[in-house]
Structures are given as structure tokens and as C-alpha cells.
Amino acid sequence: MRRILFITLLIVGAANLLFAQKAPKPVSINGALSVKDGQVVNQHGVPPELHGLSFSWSVWQGRKYYNTNVVDWICKDFKVSLIRASMAVQPDHGYLQEPDSQKQLIVNVVDEAIKKGIYVLIDWHDHNSYLHIPQSKQFFGEMAQKYKGAPNVIYEVWNEPERVSWDTVKNYAVRVITEIRKYDPDNLIVVGSPHWDQDVDIAAVSPITGFKNIAYSFHFYASDPNHQDGLRAKADKAIKMGLPLLVTEWGVGEASGNGVFDLDENKKWVDWLKQNKLSWVNWNITDKDETTALLKPGASPEGGWEQGDLTPDGVYIHTLLQGLNK
């Protein structure tokens, strides 16, 4: 009897493993993303509703998590369908100073995301991109040549423009988009908007034309007192005007990355995201001692995190993602 039970358990375990291996991946389900009728849609013409995590700045505490083991772990345990590789540009040891090492960090994450069958944002994580146009064109030209035809890859050409005009953002974006489209005619490109990706209503008045598959990033911090009804109204207006949005960054705390973590305000925002069928990534994979960090200080740089390694943010997002991405 014990032998029969043992054999049965082996068969069930093997079957479960086989099912897990054969379970369809997000990219195989959704295919190449595009823009249609003011929305980001999948190969079936419907919003893919992707959800996942953003790596932190690829310098400081966040750098150590830019490895294949972490990508594998968040795919397995957090059930992510979309991740964001946030390449630091201006800080010390960022792309402007160390382009080769920074580029390799991004490539490591992107290549593993492709292997795992999930989507990945290549994020030029810069607040002043209009000052770095030659470097941005060089970087995205290389990325487009390397990843053209890979439906997993999304190009995010300017993380968060600060207090600059929409014309400044738009002119920069057109130049970088033109470079990408020399090599990759189809993959989704995400453009920022003024005021840390909040003024999407302004971008909606005069969107970029002449290129296909262009979306716009929208950012918010759910507990920030300045990121409530008024900010949702700006996004609602942009959506109504037909501006395709992708939430490439949001946090559970305040815009500083720290501050309070208000569960009620987070629920309002999560409900709003679902109502509008928007894809999103949450900020951020790091062990920095602040509200929006996923991990407690000292958490392993190789993944494999247990509940005790997660901050309140990490526990909340882990539960949310597991529920959304079954």
C-alpha cells in the first residue's frame, strides 16, 4: 500500500510539474502588443491587463537585483506578466558614466524575461532626457537592433519628465522614436508626459503622430495626498480623448518613495486600474528602508524571498499579483 501511495504521489507531482511547464506564458497568450482605438491591445484586439514589478534604479541598493535568478523568482512566486528594467542614466555609475556595464544589466534582465515568456519595459530612467538625446538615440538604436521582432519588448523612452513643456517631451520623443523605428517598425513604444508622467491630459491635446504603436506612461503614488481624485481626473480625461495609457510606475506610498501606506487609497487606485483595464508595474524591487521598497534591508539578491523578507508593501503587492495573475 505504501509503495502504491508513493508511486501515486510521484505521478501526481510529475503531472503538476508538466502542467506548470506547459502552462501558457503571457506572451504566448497575448502576442505582439499594439495600439488600437486609443488602447494598448493584444493580438486579439483586447487590453492584455498585464501586471508586474519594476526593478529599481540600476545603481545603489537596487543594482544587485538585476540578475536572472530574481527574474525567475518573480515569475514563479509573484506571477508577474510584465517587468520593468529601470536603467539609471544620470547618477554616478549610471549610463552616462558607464554605458557598457549599465547596458549589460538591462540585457541580462530582458533576455531572461524573453526566456520566461513575459513582457519587459526597457526604461531610460532619466528625469532630464532632453539633455541626453545623442546617448538615448544610441542606446535605443542598439536595443531596437537587438530585440526587433521580439514581442516581449516595450521601449520606454523617458521615465519621468519633470517641469518641462509637452513640446520639449514631444520633440525629444519623436527623435528617439525615429531612431527605434529604423530597426524595429512594430514594437510598442511608451512616451512620458510633463510633471512626472502626470500631465497626460496635456499630451492628449496634441499627441505624437506619424508613428504606429505609441502609448503614454502614467504614474501615481497611491497614498500621496496630491495623487487622488484630481490626478485620476486628468487620466480619465486623457483616456476619454483616446490617449492609450500604460502605468509604467506606481507605488503604495507617497511620491517621495516614503511616507504613509494607506490601504483605502490604494484600493481606490487598484479599482480604477481594473476599471480602465490598464496594464501596470509597481515600484520597486529594492531593499532600501522606505515605504515603496518591496524588500526588507538585507533580503537576498538572488530571489527566493520568504514572507519575512517582504515589507508591508511587498506583502501587499505579492498578494495582489498572485490574485490577478493566476
| 55, 60, 61, 65 alpha-carbon torsion, rounded to 10° | 40
Which tens digits make up the pLDDT trace of 247-284? Answer: 999 999 999 999 999 999 999 999 999 999 999 999 99
| pLDDT for position 275 | 98
**The pLDDT of residue 10 is above 60:** no
**What is the dotted CATH code of the domain comprising 45-324?**
3.20.20.80
Which tens digits make up the pLDDT trace of 177-233? Answer: 999 999 999 999 999 999 999 999 999 999 999 999 999 999 999 999 999 999 999
Q: Are 199 and 207 in contact (CB under 8 A)?
A: no
Cell numbers for 267:
484600493
Domain boundaries, the chain: 45-324
160 is catalytic: yes
Q: Catalytic pick from 49, 249, 254, 290?
A: 249
**The pLDDT of residue 173 is above 80:** yes
Number of helices (H) and strands (E) in the chain: give both, helices first.
11, 10
Q: Are 321 and 83 in contact (CB under 8 A)?
A: no
The letter for the amino acid at 238 is A
Q: Catalytic pick from 49, 112, 156, 160?
A: 160
Nearest to 107 by CA among 118, 122, 119, 96: 122
| pLDDT for position 284 | 98
User: Which run of H or E residues covers position 263?
Assistant: helix 263-275
98 is catalytic: no
**The pLDDT of residue 63 is above 80:** yes
Other beta carbons within 10 Å of 166: 18
| pLDDT for position 318 | 98
Q: Are 239 and 180 in contact (CB under 8 A)?
A: no
Q: Are 119 and 150 in contact (CB under 8 A)?
A: no
The radius of gyration of the chain's CA atoms, rounded to the nearest angstrom, is 20
What DSSP assignment string belongs to 8-42?
HHHHHHHHHHHHHHHSPPHHHHH-S-EEETTEEE-
How far apart are the C-alpha atoms of 5 and 11, rounded to whole Å?
10
Which tens digits make up the pLDDT trace of 64-83? Answer: 999 999 999 999 999 999 99
What's the predicted TM-score (pTM) here? 0.93
| pLDDT for position 22 | 66
pLDDT class for 23, splitting at 50, 70, 90? confident
CA 29 to chain centre: 18
How far apart are the C-alpha atoms of 215 and 247, rounded to whole Å?
10
How far apart are the C-alpha atoms of 101 and 121, rounded to whole Å?
18
By residue count, the chain amounts to 326
Mean pLDDT computed over 300-324: 97
pLDDT class for 21, splitting at 50, 70, 90? low
Q: Are 196 and 202 in contact (CB under 8 A)?
A: no
How far apart are the C-alpha atoms of 172 and 176, rounded to whole Å?
6
The letter for the amino acid at 223 is S
Q: Are 89 and 132 in contact (CB under 8 A)?
A: yes
| pLDDT for position 170 | 98
Handedness of CA 234, 271, 155, 87 (dihedral sign): positive
Cell numbers for 3:
509503495
Average pLDDT, the chain: 94
Q: Percent helix, strand and coil across the chain, each rounded to 5?
A: 45, 15, 40
pLDDT class for 310, splitting at 50, 70, 90? very high
